[in-house]
Structure 1
Amino acid sequence: MKVIINSVFTILLALITLTACKKDKKTDTTVVDTGNGGATGPITSPTDPGIAVSQGFFLDSWIAKTFTKPATTSVAKPTASSVTVTADFAQVVSKVSNNLFGNNMNPFTSQYTDAGLVKNITNLSPNIIRAPGGSLSDVYFYDLPAGGKPADVPAQLLKADGSADPATGYWSGMVTDSWSISLSNYYSLLQKTNSTGIITVNYGYARYGLSDHPVETAAHYAAQWVRNDKGRTKLWEVGNENFGNWEAGYRIDVSKNKDGQPEIITGQLYGTHFKVFADSMRKAASDIGVSIKIGIVLTETDDQNNTTGGQNWNSGVLSAAGSSPDFFVVHNYYTPYNQNSTPEVILATPSAVTAPMVSWVNNSVQKAGVAQKPIALDEWNIFASGSRQQVSYVSGVHAVLVLGELIKNQVSMACRWDLANGGSDGNDHGLFTFNQDGTANFTPRPAFYYLYYFQKYFGDRMISSTVSGSTDIVSYASSFTSGEAGVTLINKSGTDQVVSINFKNYYTGSNYYYYTLKGGTDNGSYSGKVTVNNNGPAGDVGGPAGYASLAANSSGTSGGITVSVPARGVVFLVCDKK
C-alpha cells in the first residue's frame, strides 16, 4: 500500500509540475533571477493611456515601431555606479507621435535640391516640414514670380513704432533663383524625404491690404492656395506670431485701410478674422474633396503684460474664434532672449518651460469657455547667444530634453526651427550650415546627430522612469511594439557619471546596445563638434560622416545594465527582450 501511495504521489507531483511548466510557458510568470536588470517574477502587462486632448488627431498617424538591431562592437561596461534609473515597462506615459520630430524650411537657403542635404533630411526623418517660413509667411505670395507683389499692397509696411520700413520686401513662391526655394521644390522636398507639410498662410495681408475688403481678399487668397495644393497638405495655420510687433500687419496705416481696422492688432480682431479664413479654406477643401485641419496662433506664456497688441491675446483670440480652430499653435525659444546663457541655464529650461507652456494654453482655453484642442509647437529652439550656443552640441542636448518633455507632457506635434538659416557668427538656428565661413553648405551641425539618434533609439511609447542618486541625470524611457525597452540618459552636469538601469515588468534579453554622444574640446563649453561612440567629424563642424552605419556599443545584461554618461553627454540605449 505504501508503494502504491508513493507512486500515486509521484505521479500527482509530476502532473502538478507539468501543469506549472505549461502555465509558465504561457504566461511567463515564473522566472529565475539572472541579475540582468530586468524583472525576476510576475509582471504586469502595459496598457495604453487615453489620448489627451492636447494630442488629439496628431496621434492619428501613430506608427508601431520595430527595433532593428544595428551592427555592434562589444565593450566592457563600468562596474561602479551611484546613480540608478528605474523604468517601468507596464506604466505607459504616452504613445509617441511621428509628428513630433518636424522641422521648418527657411525660404532663403537654396532650392533644397542638394543631394547630400536631401539624403541627410531623409535619414533624419522629420516626417513633417513647415513652410514657407516664420515671419516671412505674412509677406508671402505663393503664386507670384520673383519680385512680384499684388497690386493692393503698400510699397512700404510700417515698423512697430509707426514709421515706414524702407526695407519692406515681399516673398514669392514662383522663384527660380538658386538662393531661394520655389513652392514646387518645397513639395518636391516633401516627396523626396517621405515627409508631409504644414503650411502657414499669409494673414498679414488681411491687415495691410489696400482693397475695399482686405480680410475677405486675404482669406480668398489662402483658400486658393488650398485648392491649388490639391490635397497634398492636411495641416494649415493662419499667420505667424501675429501678436508680435515684429510681424507684418501688427501695425497698419489706418489712413489707407478701407474696412475700419484699428492701427494695432488685437487678439479679438485676429480671432474674428481667423473665422473668415477658416470658412474660406474649408470651403475650398470641400470643393476638391479633401479634409484639412487649421491652426490658430496663441501665445506660449502669460500675455497680460505683453506689448499693446499682445495684451490678453489668448483671451481675445479664443473668445472671438470660438470653436473654429482645429488646433492651437505656439512657438517657444526656451532660453532668455539674446542672453549669453550658461549650459546650466540652457539645459534647465526644457523641464522648467514645457509644462507651464502647456498649462498656460489649457488654462487660457478653460477661462475662455471654449473646447480644448490639440497643441502644435511648430517653432522651437533656443535664444541663447554670444558664445555660439545655437550651433554647439549643447543645443543638441537641449533638443533631446525638449523632445522628452514634450512627450511627457502629451504634446504630439512639434517642428524645430530650422533646417538651414545663415552664418551670423554662431547665432544661427540652422540644423545644417549655410554661408558659414570655412564650412561647406549643408554640413550637419551637432544637433542633427542628437535628433537622429533620439528618433532611431526611442520607441513608439514613453514609459515611466525615475532617477535616484543624482539630480543631474535625466531619463526618458520607451518601449517598442516589437518588444524591446530603451532608456535615453542625459547628464546635465560637467562631470562623467555611471548609471545603472533596472527595468520593472520587463524580462531582459542577453544584450543591450547604445550610442554615446558627447561634445568636443573646442570653444570652451560650446563645442561645435560631437562624437558618437568616439567617432568625430573630419572637419571643424558636426559629427561623423558615417553616422547611419556606425556600430552601436554592446554589452551583456548578465550582472546588470550599466553605462557611463559623459559630462553633458547623452546615451541612447535599447535592451534586448527575452
Structure 2
Amino acid sequence: MQMMTRTVSAIMFIALIAIMACKKSNNNTGTTTTTTTTDQGNGGAIGPITSPTDPSVAATQGFFLNDWQARTFTAPSTQAAAKPSATTSITVTADYSQVVSKVSKYMFGNNINPFTGQYTGAGVVTDITNLSPNIIRAPGGSLSDVYFWNSPSGGHPADVPAQLLNADGTPNTTTGYWSGQVTDSWSLSLDNYYSLLQKTKSTGIITVNYAYARYGTGPTPVQTAAHLAAQWVRYDKGRTKFWEIGNECYGNWEACYRIDVTKNQDGQPAILTGALYGQQFLVFADSMRNAAAQIGATIQIGAVLHETPDANNAEGVSNWNPGVLGAIGNAADFFIVHNYYTNYNENSSALTIFNTAAASSSTLMNFVKTSIQTAGVTQKPIALTEWNIFSTGSQQQISNVAGVHAVMVLGETIKDQYGEASRWDLANGWSTTSPGDDQGLFSYGQPNVTDFTPRPAFYYMYYFQKFFGDRMISSSVSGSSSIVSYASSFSSGQAGVVVVNTSESDATVNVSFKNYYTGSNYYYYTLHGGTDNGDFSGQVLVNGNGPSINYGGPSSYASLAAYSTSTSGGIKVTVPARGVVFLVVDKK
C-alpha cells in the first residue's frame, strides 16, 4: 500500500512538470519543448514542439530592419465557408520553429513619378494608405537624370545644354528638364510628394540627379551637382533617411551615359565608366553627409550596381560593378539594384512570368553578393528600388497574372533577404500604340476607366501584407510542382500561409503546421482572375466579389469578409487556377 502511494505521487509530480513545461513553451525565442498533444488532426503539431528562434540579421538587410515592427493579427469580419471535400495529395507544410527572416516593412514599397498628377485626391490617398507601402521612391527612374528639385515650373539651371545626347552621339531632339516646384494639375510637386508621404504614413527614398554631374556645362559640374543634392538634403530636413545617387547609370538609355565633351569643362570622357561613377559618387556622398550633419539628420546613401554579369554589356557600361566597387570601397551605405524579371518586350506566357520570380530574385542576389565579395568590399544592404515585368503584347502588365507574380516577388525577395523593395510604379500612363503595356498599379489615362482605379496587382499586394506576419517561416510543398507557398508568423501568436497556384486548374491543398498548435478557426481570402482576355484577365475576384465595371477588383475590398472555417479535421482550401489564397490560422 505504501509502494502504491509513492507511485501515484511520482506520477502526479511528473504530470505537474509536464504542465509547467507546456506553460513555459509559449514564447518566440529559445528551444523549449512541450508534451501537449491536443492538436491532433487539426493541422498543427502533435506532441512536443520547438519554439522559434530569430536568426541573425543578414548583411543584405542591415539597417532596413532597424525599423522592424511586431505585428498583431486582428481577425477581420468573417463569413462561414465549407471545407473542401475533395481528397488531395498536395500538402503545404509550414514549420513555425524555423524562422527564415524578420520581415522588413520596407519590402512593400512603390515608386511615384511626377507626370501622373498631384496625388491630392481622397480616393487615391485612401487606397495608397490601405496598401501601406511604407516607402515611396521619387522622383522617378530615368526622369531623375533631368529633375531639378528647386527649379520653378518650366525652369532649369543655366548650365545645362539645350540638347542632351543619345547613346549613339546624336542630339536628343526631345530633351526636356523637369522641375520640382510645379503647380500644374498633371504634375507632382515636391511638396505634394512630401505631403503624400505624411498622409499615407510612408517614408521616402529619393534619387538625386547624378547625370547633371556629367552633362553640366559649368567649370565644376561634379561639385555643382553634388551641391544641388546636398541642398536637397537640407531642404528635406531629415524627413528622408534613404538617398540614391543616380538611376541605372550603367545603361545607355540614361542621360549620364554619353556627354558632349566639347561642352564639358573638367575633362570627363564621352562615355561613362563604373570607375568614374564611383569617383563622383564619393563627391556626392561627402557633400550630402555634411549637409545632413549640419541639420542633425542621419541619412543612408546608396550606390548603383548592375544586377547581371556585365563584362560584355551590349546596352551600357562594361564591367560596371568592378569599376564602381573599386572606386568607392566601403563608402556606400547600401547598394541599389533593379529587376524587371521577364525579357524586354517579350510576349511572355503566364507560366514564363511565374517561373521568373524565384529564379531571377535569387540569381540577382547571388550575383551582386559575389561582385561585392570579389571586390573585397564589405557586404551592405541590398535595395531593389524598382521591380516589375517587361512582358508586352497581351496586356500582361495590367493583368491578374501580374498580381500573382507580385505575390511571388514579395515572397521570394523576403526569402532571399533583400532589405528593401519598391515596385515600379503607382501610376504610369496608357499607350495608344501598345495598349496594356502599362506598369502602373493604378490606371492613368486608360480608356473607359477612371484614373487611379486599382489594377489586379493592387489587390494581391494589399491582401499579402494584410495576411503576412512579421517573420517569414520555412514552408514546403509536396504533391505538386504548380503550388508555391510562403509562410509567416505574427508576434501576436497566429501563423499564416500564402498559397499560389500557377497552373491552369484549381487545386485542393492541405495546410499543415509543424511546431505549432492551431486554434479553432482559420481565415482566408481567395483571389483569382476573371474570364476576359484569355490568360491575362484585367479583373480580380476576391472571395467571389468582382469589380463593378469590367476591370479591376471590388471597390469594397477593405471591408470584405474573410472566409472562416473550423480547424477541426484539418486545414484545407481550394486554390483557384492562377490564383492565390491568403490564410491565417488562430493560435491555440
For normalisation by structure 1, the TM-score amounts to: 0.98
Which residue identity is paired with 1:457?
F
Give the number of equivalent residue pairs: 576
The answer to whether the aligner puts 1:66 opposite 2:36 as a matched pair is no
Quick one: percent identity of the two aligned structures? 66
Q: Take 1:24 and 1:499, find their aligned partners in 2: how far apart are those partners?
A: 30
Asked whether the 8 Å contact 2:234–2:295 carries over to 1, the reply is: yes
* Contact 1:519-1:528 at 8 Å conserved across structures: yes
Q: Which residue in 2 is equivalent to 1:108?
A: 115
- Counterpart position of 2:334: 327
- Checking the alignment, whether the CA contact within 8 Å between 1:81 and 1:562 is kept in structure 2 is no
Query: CA shift at 1:479, angstroms?
Result: 0.4
- TM-score normalised according to structure 2 size: 0.96
Q: Which residue of 2 aligns with 1:39?
A: 45
Q: For residues 328 and 139 of structure 1, what CA distance do their matches in structure 2 show?
A: 22
Residue 458 (structure 1) aligned with residue 468 (structure 2):
yes
Conserved? CA contact 1:267–1:309, under 8 Å: no
Aligned residue among 516, 527, 532 for 1:517:
527
CA–CA distance in structure 2, aligned partners of residues 14 and 207 of structure 1: 81
Distance 1:244 1:8 in 2: 82
1:23-61 alpha-carbon deviations (Å, 9 max, x no partner): 444445222353001011111010000011110101101
Structure 1: distance between partners of 2:110 and 2:121: 17
Taking the aligned partners of 2:89 and 2:327, their CA distance within structure 1 comes to 55
1:186 aligned counterpart, secondary structure: helix
Q: Which residue of the partner structure matches residue 171 of structure 2?
A: 164
Aligned pair in 2 of structure 1 residues 470, 5: CA closer, same or farther (>3 Å)?
Answer: closer
The answer to whether the 8 Å contact 2:39/2:517 transfers is no
Secondary structure of 2:107's aligned partner: coil
Contact 1:267 1:316 in 2 (8 A): yes
Equivalent position amino acid for 1:430 in 2: G
Q: Which amino acid aligns with 1:36?
A: N
Q: Give yes or no for contact 1:34–1:558 (8 Å, CA) kept in 2.
A: no
Shift of 1:6: 4.5
Q: CA deviation at 1:12?
A: 5.0
Change (3 A) 1:81 1:147: same
1:150 aligns with 157
**Secondary structure in 2 aligned to 1:172?**
strand
Q: Give the Cα–Cα distance (whole angstroms) in 2 for the partners of residues 206 and 21 of structure 1.
A: 69
Structure 1's 16 and 255: CA in aligned 2 closer, same or farther, altered over 3 A?
Answer: closer
* Residue 75 of structure 1 pairs with residue 61 of structure 2: no
Residues 1:196 and 2:203 aligned together: yes
Give the 3-state SS of the residue equivalent to 1:471 in structure 2: coil
The verdict on how the C-alpha distance between 1:212 and 1:18 changes in structure 2, with shifts beyond 3 A counting, is closer
Q: Residues 254 and 262 of structure 1 are in contact (CA less than 8 Å); yes or no, is this contact kept in structure 2?
A: yes
Question: Using the alignment, how far apart are the partners of 2:360 and 2:17 within structure 1?
Answer: 55
1:500 CA drift (Å): 0.3
Q: Distance in 1 between matches of 2:489 and 2:407?
A: 17
- Cα distance between partner residues in 1 of 2:259 and 2:276: 13
Q: 1:111 to 1:493 in 2, by over 3 A?
A: same
2:92·2:511 contact (CA, 8 Å) conserved in 1? yes
Structure-2 change in CA distance of 1:315 and 1:72 (3 Å): same
Alignment map for 1:359-508 (pairs within 5 Å): 359-424=366-431, 425-508=435-518
Q: Distance in 1 between matches of 2:81 and 2:527?
A: 16
2:108, 2:133 within 8 Å by CA — same for their partners in 1? yes
Amino acid of the residue matched to residue 54 of structure 1?
A: T
Q: Report if aligned partners of 1:86, 1:467 keep a CA contact under 8 Å in 2.
A: yes
1:576 aligned to which of 563, 567, 586: 586
Q: Give the deviation of 1:14 after TM superposition.
A: 4.4
SS in structure 2 of the partner of residue 242 of structure 1: coil
1:70-120 alpha-carbon deviations (Å, 9 max, x no partner): 111111111311201111000000000000000000110000001100000
Residues 115-159 of structure 1 show CA distances to partners (whole Å, capped at 9, x for unaligned) of 100000000000000001110001000011111011000000001
Amino acid at match of 1:59: L
Residues 13 and 195 from structure 1, CA distance in 2 versus in 1: closer, same or farther, beyond 3 angstroms?
closer
1:314-333 CA distances to partner (integer Å, 9 max, x unpaired)? Answer: 00011011111100001110
* d(CA) in 1 for partners of 2:381, 2:20: 47
The code of the aligned residue for 1:64 comes to A
Q: Which residue of 1 aligns with 2:346?
A: 339
User: Which whole-Å CA distance do the structure 2 matches of 1:281 and 1:179 have between them?
Assistant: 31
Partner of residue 364, structure 2: 357
CA distance in 2, matches of 1:372, 1:24: 41
Structure-2 residue corresponding to 1:223: 230
Conservation of the 8 A alpha-carbon contact between 1:135 and 1:241: yes
Query: Structure 1 residues 287, 13: closer, same or farther in 2, change over 3 A?
Result: closer
Residues 11-30 of structure 1 aligned to structure 2 (within 5 Å): 13-27=11-25, 28-30=34-36
Q: What residue number does 1:311 align with? A: 318
Q: How far 1:19 moved relative to its partner? A: 4.8
What runs of 5+ residues in structure 2 fail to find an aligned partner? 26-33
Q: Structure 1 residues 372, 6: CA separation in 2 closer, same or farther (over 3 Å shift)?
A: closer
Q: Structure 1, residues 520-539: CA drift from partner, whole Å, max 9, x if none?
A: 00011100000000000001
